[in-house]
Amino acid sequence: MRTFISFVMMSVLVCGIAASAEQTEPVSQEQILQELRQLRQEVAELRRTVEALQARLDEGAEPTELPWADSLRGLDAEDSGVDRNTLGQIKLPDNPSKEQVREYVARILAASRAQRTFSSIDPQVHMLARVGAGHIDVLVQAAEYSPMADVYVVWAIDRLARPEHKALVLDALPRLPELVQVVLARGWLEDAKGTLVEGLRYRECLPTEWVQAVASFKDPDTYAGLKYYFVHGANRRDTYGAIKHLPGIELSDAVAQAWRRSRPSRWEAARIAPIAIEWGHLDALAYAVSALTGTPRPDHALYDMWGLWTAVLRHSDAPRSAEGLKSWFEGNRDNLVFDPETRKFRVKGDQ
């Protein structure tokens, strides 16, 4: 499990670096930080996806005779890359000044830049929390300029935040969305409602917890914003999971828009196609069949292939092999109809 997660996280970071390398125009520091924060959010989402896939493997729900299935086995473990020697040399003075606290925090973050995986039990969290509640403002400031804001810094803030810090946290929330986990942990959700709802409209990359927090209100007045973020936001798959069961929400148009916007990106299309299949988009089913039965592509990650395969099995009666799936689709494509009651594609005339 840990091996697979490490592999997944490395894949995401490599993809992000490669994408950045292709840019020819200069980018601002804020753009770079936003991209890095988006990568961190994707890693968190992938961690949850991998856990779900591992559960399916444990249950024996493994596909057969698919060209990419064997790639799930035999992945080498990756070391997290925590530089314990460097961290061990960083000390916080007794009764430190604000400037000494800033320098201490900056050195910890600098020593963590080369890491590939992150855990709440890594030493950085405890080290950052040592600054104490009296210097939580330094942590908030550091988080706003750190690509690791959603890991070590926010985890430390979460350990230290007290009721008297509510105003500080709520004020920083629009600039540092990762603080939503502190808001949720401290029960400040109602106080943050306005910021959370508004953020759906002007932020393209929000933590999954942000969307889940807005969805938890079950307020029809928030549905338009939630659907907007589903269509335009960076983590459509998690957003869909958070909103699809809201009472009275209508998602058919939003799913169609999200699928249409995702098509130009093969990576994003692979992640949204299962949702589009669930809503009866035949071109999404065709995309999934092509991805599952064709030559494996480097831009089709293993976890996405699992999602495509699960969607095909759940929403059709297709065979469980690459050859059978391809033959079934090619032979029946013009006669496939979608039943909205069962949410399954079936061959016209079949009972």
pLDDT computed for residue 300 by the predictor: 60
- Which has more pLDDT, 146 or 206? 206
pLDDT computed for residue 331 by the predictor: 94
Mean pLDDT of the chain: 81
pLDDT computed for residue 298 by the predictor: 60
- Per-residue pLDDT band at 338 (split at 50, 70, 90): very high
- Which has more pLDDT, 11 or 248? 248
Both tokens assigned to 188: 């400040």
Q: What is the mean pLDDT of residues 83-96?
A: 92
217-233 confidence digits (pLDDT tens): 999 999 999 999 999 99
Q: What is the mean pLDDT of residues 87-98?
A: 94
pLDDT computed for residue 57 by the predictor: 45
From CA 217, how far away is CA 158, in angstroms rounded?
A: 23
pLDDT computed for residue 210 by the predictor: 97
Q: What is the mean pLDDT of residues 55-60?
A: 46
pLDDT computed for residue 264 by the predictor: 87
- Per-residue pLDDT band at 26 (split at 50, 70, 90): very low
122 secondary structure, DSSP code: S
**Sign of the four-CA dihedral 8, 9, 11, 12:** positive
The residue among 213, 196, 133 whose CA lies nearest residue 165 is 133
- Which has more pLDDT, 27 or 345? 345
Number of alpha carbons in the 13 Å side-chain half-sphere of residue 187: 2
pLDDT computed for residue 339 by the predictor: 94
pLDDT computed for residue 348 by the predictor: 87
103-127 confidence digits (pLDDT tens): 999 999 998 887 878 888 889 999 9
Checking if the pLDDT of 47 tops 90, the result is no
- Which has more pLDDT, 297 or 270? 270
- Which has more pLDDT, 165 or 79? 165
pLDDT computed for residue 21 by the predictor: 34
pTM: 0.75
- Which has more pLDDT, 331 or 83? 331
Angle at 341 between CA 337 and CA 342, to 5 degrees: 75
Checking if the pLDDT of 33 tops 70, the result is no
Amino acid in position 188: W
255-272 confidence digits (pLDDT tens): 999 999 999 887 889 999
pLDDT computed for residue 118 by the predictor: 83
Checking if the pLDDT of 24 tops 80, the result is no
- Which has more pLDDT, 146 or 220? 220
**Sign of the four-CA dihedral 45, 203, 147, 125:** negative
Angle at 41 between CA 63 and CA 226, to 5 degrees: 90
Checking if the pLDDT of 295 tops 60, the result is yes
| 103-110: long-range pairs with CB below 8 Å, 24+ | 104/131, 105/131, 105/138, 105/139, 105/142, 105/153, 106/142, 108/152, 109/142, 109/146, 109/148, 109/152, 109/153
Both tokens assigned to 231: 């269509």
Checking if the pLDDT of 49 tops 60, the result is no
The residue among 5, 39, 210, 37 whose CA lies nearest residue 119 is 5
